[in-house]
Amino acid sequence: MPTMTDATASGLCAFVDASPSPFHVCETVAAELTEAGFVELRETDGWPTAPGRYYLVRGGSLVAWSTEESGHGESPFRIVGGHTDSPNLRVKQHPDLRSAGWQLVGLEPYGGAWLNSWLDRDLGISGRISVRVGNTLQQKLIRVDRPILRVPQLAIHLSEERKGVQLDPQRHVNAIWGVGNSPTSFLGYLAGQAGVAEDAVLGWELMTHDLAPSAVVGLHDELVSAPRLDNQGTCYAGTRALLAAVEEPGEAIPVLALFDHEEVGSMSDRGAFSDLLNSVLERIVLARGGGREDFLRALAGSVCASGDMAHATHPNYPDRHEPAHRIEVNGGPVLKVNQNLRYATDAAGAGAFALACDQAGVPLQRYVHRADLPCGSTIGPITASRTGLSTVDVGAPQLAMHSARELMGAADVAYYADALAAFLTPVE
């Protein structure tokens, strides 16, 4: 029997609303894993040799796996990868500004944020701060769900010929949060929210999030409207897939790898360019009594599905899509192919995912980007080149990618999760 998940559209909405930042994504996933019997490991500790369910968190990245029933030290891995970050507006290092009698918070775009979509929205703040406690540091999560920030649009009467304005990321995305000529300390406010002194805050990674809750929408509730579907749609589906896979273990070791910083190139201590995945996979082998040779043998037999959301064909802009590759919402997950390797998919990887979809009873769509438009990329090519793993790029279709709010099909939530679960538990 194929491995089925309990993924639902309402479950995805709850996941997204609980996870306004990459750090909160990890917290949300970790809570679900812990409830299912996973144990958190620290990279600085020795790892247990006993088979079990484990995960670790490095900043805004998380890797989870199970070795409960999987063969020997050279057992291959089946990996679902994704990323926890999404384009947004982030807080500058000196955030307190004032202009024309307004108090402002200095913001700057993170990743390829579609800037006009962030205008005239009620925004909260989330992320983490580094706090001094005596001579030590602690990391504290921050989440403010009050509508304290707003980036206002220019009035149409003040634009040239009443046309849309061209937003300058340096000048036009600072947020109003008060009135007056004496600036209020934004970090002081957040320190108060965290219950610490302002001078104890020594570092921060803070970002805005849209406060409108996620929702199942459409005439027949066939759509999901939510922020951060790229790529929390994969984080949710991958988590449900792993939780289903560990209940029906096979020879391969199922792994979920969620990386931060994909939207800005992945080159960080916890991005897909880092040593995170390689070191975790090797330590899994070592903890099970294997050696370097066993690790290399395990990698040679492993496959990774790089999960990132895909472009559905836009009904108002059908000419922006490859005409022979129409992608429909609620039409099943998408296999992404690019001849110039912006996606990592090759014939072997495509076959592995197509077989998983067939075994799960899930329809499969195939995506090719227009050859005359620049194609985005994923963690797929990075993971393939850093690990040597056979890798396939997949995703669930959506509209409005990189907007502050995005749209996908409600049925695709379960399709996507079930396909990933079947990929993690291949039927021999």
The span from the CA of 64 to the CA of 30, in Å, is: 9
* Eight-class DSSP state of 336: E
Contact (CB, 8 A) for 218 and 159: no
Choose among 336, 347, 121: nearest CA to 213.
121
The span from the CA of 18 to the CA of 24, in Å, is: 7
Neighbours of 288 (CB within 10 A): 21
Rg of the chain on CA atoms, in Å: 22
Go through 2-32 and write b for each residue having 16 or more CB atoms within 10 A of its CB, e for each that does not.
Answer: bbbbebbbebbbebbbbbbbbbbbbbbbbeb
Q: Which residues contact 96 (CB under 8 A, 6 or more apart)?
A: 103, 104, 105, 106, 183, 184, 185, 186
Q: Residue by residue, what is the 3-state secondary structure of 134-186?
A: CCEEEEEEEEEEEEEEECCCCCHHHCHHHCCCCCCCCCCCCEEEEECCCCCCH
Residues tagged in the binding site annotation for Zn(2+)? 83, 157, 402
- Tokens encoding 253: 């070791």
- DSSP readout, 1-40? --------HHHHHHHHHT-SSHHHHHHHHHHHHHHTT-EE
- What is the pairing mode between strands 39-40 and 53-58? parallel
Cα 125 to Cα 20, 91, 169, 202, distances in angstroms: 8, 9, 19, 18
The span from the CA of 81 to the CA of 238, in Å, is: 8
Residues tagged in the binding site annotation? 83, 157, 402
Length of the chain equals 428
* Eight-class DSSP state of 338: -
The span from the CA of 227 to the CA of 406, in Å, is: 6
